[in-house]
Copies of this chain bind each other. A is one copy, B any other.
Amino acid sequence: MSSFAVPTTLAEYEASREDLILADRAQRADHKKGQLSKLEALADKVIRQVRAAEAASIWSLEYEGIPHPFPGMEFLTGRSIIVQTKLFEILGKMPKGGLLHAHLDATVNVSFLLKAAMKYPAVHVRASTALNATNIGSVLPEMSVLPQQLRTSSDITLTDHNYIPDTWVPMVKARESFDSQLGGPEGFDRWITAALTINPTEAYVTHNTVTKIWQKFASTFVVSAPLVRYEPIQREYIREFILSYIADGISYVEPRINFLRDAIPFIAEDGQRQLTHKEVLKDFQKVVDDVKAELKAQGREDEFIGAKIIYSTIRFITPEELEWYLRDCIALKKEFPHLIAGFDLVGDENVLKPLTYYLEPLLKFREMQKEAGVSEIPFIFHGGETLGDGTEADMNLYDAILLGTKRIGHGFSLVKHPKLIELCKERGIAIEVCPISNEILRLTSSMHMHPLPVLLNQGVSVALCSDDPSVFGNMGLTFDYFQVLAASEITGLIQLGEMAKDSIKFSSMEEEEKKDALAAWQKRWEVFLEYAASEGQKFLAQFEGMKVSG
């Protein structure tokens, strides 16, 4: 036990206290940054004041149906307040860097997907039974594209009492003729939307455990896949993904695309032929190239550097099947060397297979790459997305790191692993932290309970990510940045900026691309700081004016 003296004078004490606080925060990115510029200091201060002002105003009002509002509260309930805040408005304009953890099939607003679906006669829907007021809350829609020859022209639709269970109905018709007692076309939209999203009652009441919420969560992908993977819709979807995320300030995306062969196929326009994976990537690349060309023509090339894909498959397959997917990934890497960024296994770590189950094929992957003559495809594994302590899911973190993972998806339980934290820092393994996802999927109850500060304060590199925005409602990255900012008195604009930079530094871009991306980001950041400072000050001035004296 080291000897130490309790300061005796107030002056001595204050000095020791300052030193201790600095020493304690020394590993934080916003502290390692060093001296702030005048603009940075001003914007940072103003945003803190806006945060404090709104904590005492809009977050302290009474809201019907929201008994305990507070900044950083559970997202599905708090969202309606968040979007009314000035903080959210300002953060919307922040250049976010890269989005490194998002599942492509869940990136675009459900309403866009629905509208797109209406445009294609191949899209059909069915249900296991005729829908009525009693069962509409529990019967899931099943959607699919049908080839010409299987399309029907029957007049009977889902809400007819004589609907024959499991009969396909053209989507447009199903919507048009949805019983007015069940809400008509809007009722149809709500029915489909409910199957594609998680609502507050599900997250916070009926499915309020990790296992139950994952069951609901996984079901949304089963429902959406046939739509999202229909080639004409997928092209629109990818385009909308990229464009809307650019609008949110994101300049690079690295989505995970799930491959599961025949189980979740990609279907060509004819509603029948399965696309090859090469065709899927070709479509993806074309959308990316088109968007880049369009932005260049508008003089906006700085707003979008590009995109890469993390090839993922689901952790319930056998090790033999995994080997097929590893080979498939290599084949795609050969064809699209700059598009394939890495390989991952996804799905509920708590109930599906751990990484150890797949060791044999995973240990062969590097060798397979060399034999095929492709440049390295790193693993970018999900790991530790769990509350377990010593469970298989928790211990996936050991294997992710031993297998040389480039980054870790979620890493929620990483905070319990001092040696692994040390290795992540040593080896430059950034953590793809998904705050809103973690809360909705019941790993934490509010942003204040999220372990993110434990990582930040130990100097672990963190990229903020939204994971599955269409299911959660956190499109883009602004919502996740908001939650992190709202729930802390230490984290401010500067820390957010460092995380945006890390999302570029730890992306899979080439070193040259990263340099350009960082330079482009820096320019936009300076513009943003000016805006944040002036917009914030304007808000604070009005706010002061509105305060009643006393």
Contact status B489-A457, CB under 8 Å: no
Contact status A389-B448, CB under 8 Å: yes
Q: How far is the CA of A491 from the CA of B457 in the complex (A)?
A: 26
* Number of residues on chain A facing chain B (CB within 8 A): 67
Nearest residue, chain B, Cβ from A391: B489
Given A402-B17, A418-B458, A457-B418, does the pair A427, B2 have CB atoms closer than 8 Å?
yes
Contact status B418-A209, CB under 8 Å: no
The 8 Å CB contact of A10, one of B359, B391, B446, is B359
Given A24-B417, A402-B7, A445-B449, does the pair A2, B426 have CB atoms closer than 8 Å?
yes
> Which residues of the other chain, B, contact A388 by a CB distance below 8 angstroms?
448, 489
Contact status A363-B7, CB under 8 Å: yes
Contact status A416-B453, CB under 8 Å: yes
Q: How far is the CA of A511 from the CA of B16 in the complex (A)?
A: 31
Contact status A488-B389, CB under 8 Å: yes
> Which residues of the other chain, B, contact A417 by a CB distance below 8 angstroms?
24, 457
Residues of A349-396 at the interface with B, using a CB-CB cut-off of 8 Å, are: 359-360, 363, 366-367, 387-391, 394-395
> Which residues of the other chain, B, contact A311 by a CB distance below 8 angstroms?
none
> Which residues of the other chain, B, contact A546 by a CB distance below 8 angstroms?
none
Contact status A6-B399, CB under 8 Å: no
Contact status A419-B489, CB under 8 Å: no
Task: Flag whether A398 is at the interface (Cβ < 8 A).
Answer: yes
Contact status B399-A209, CB under 8 Å: no
Task: Flag whether A9 is at the interface (Cβ < 8 A).
Answer: yes
Residues of A1-22 at the interface with B, using a CB-CB cut-off of 8 Å, are: 1-2, 4, 6-10, 13, 16-17, 20-21
Task: Flag whether A27 is at the interface (Cβ < 8 A).
Answer: yes
Q: How far is the CA of A357 from the CA of B443 in the complex (A)?
A: 36
Residues of A435-470 at the interface with B, using a CB-CB cut-off of 8 Å, are: 443-446, 448-449, 451, 453-454, 457-458
Contact status A399-B17, CB under 8 Å: yes
Nearest residue, chain B, Cβ from A21: B398
Task: Flag whether A68 is at the interface (Cβ < 8 A).
Answer: yes
Contact status B451-A451, CB under 8 Å: yes
Q: How far is the CA of A417 from the CA of B28 in the complex (A)?
A: 11
Contact status B20-A68, CB under 8 Å: no
Task: Tell me how far the C-beta of A479 lies from the nearest C-beta in chain B, rounded to whole angstroms.
Answer: 19
Task: Flag whether A165 is at the interface (Cβ < 8 A).
Answer: no
Q: How far is the CA of A391 from the CA of B367 in the complex (A)?
A: 51
Q: How far is the CA of A331 from the CA of B256 in the complex (A)?
A: 68
The 8 Å CB contact of A4, one of B1, B418, B427, is B427
The 8 Å CB contact of A1, one of B7, B23, B70, B426, is B426
Nearest residue, chain B, Cβ from A443: B449
> Which residues of the other chain, B, contact A359 by a CB distance below 8 angstroms?
10, 13
> Which residues of the other chain, B, contact A445 by a CB distance below 8 angstroms?
444-445, 449
> Which residues of the other chain, B, contact A488 by a CB distance below 8 angstroms?
389-390
Contact status A13-B208, CB under 8 Å: no
Given A389-B448, A426-B1, does the pair A363, B10 have CB atoms closer than 8 Å?
yes
- Residues 482-526 of chain A: 1 if any B CB is under 8 Å from the residue's CB, otherwise 0? 000001111100000000000000000000000000000000000
Nearest residue, chain B, Cβ from A209: B68
> Which residues of the other chain, B, contact A4 by a CB distance below 8 angstroms?
404, 427
Nearest residue, chain B, Cβ from A6: B404
> Which residues of the other chain, B, contact A457 by a CB distance below 8 angstroms?
416-418
Task: Flag whether A415 is at the interface (Cβ < 8 A).
Answer: yes
Contact status B454-A444, CB under 8 Å: no
Task: Flag whether A420 is at the interface (Cβ < 8 A).
Answer: yes
Task: Flag whether A314 is at the interface (Cβ < 8 A).
Answer: no
Residues of A397-417 at the interface with B, using a CB-CB cut-off of 8 Å, are: 398-399, 401-404, 415-417
Residues of A108-158 at the interface with B, using a CB-CB cut-off of 8 Å, are: none
Contact status A68-B212, CB under 8 Å: yes
Task: Flag whether A67 is at the interface (Cβ < 8 A).
Answer: yes
Task: Tell me how far the C-beta of A206 lies from the nearest C-beta in chain B, rounded to whole angstroms.
Answer: 8
Task: Flag whether A183 is at the interface (Cβ < 8 A).
Answer: no
Q: How far is the CA of A453 from the CA of B399 in the complex (A)?
A: 20
Given A8-B366, A24-B418, output 9 extra A-B contacts at Cβ < 8 Å. Answer: A6-B402, A8-B367, A20-B420, A389-B448, A391-B489, A415-B454, A416-B457, A418-B458, A451-B451
Task: Enumerate 12 A-B pairs (CB-CB under 8 Å) in ascending A order.
Answer: A1-B428, A2-B426, A4-B404, A9-B363, A10-B363, A21-B398, A26-B419, A387-B446, A387-B448, A415-B454, A416-B454, A444-B449
What are the 3 A-B residue pairs with the smallest beta carbon separation, nearest first? Answer: A390-B489, A390-B490, A24-B419
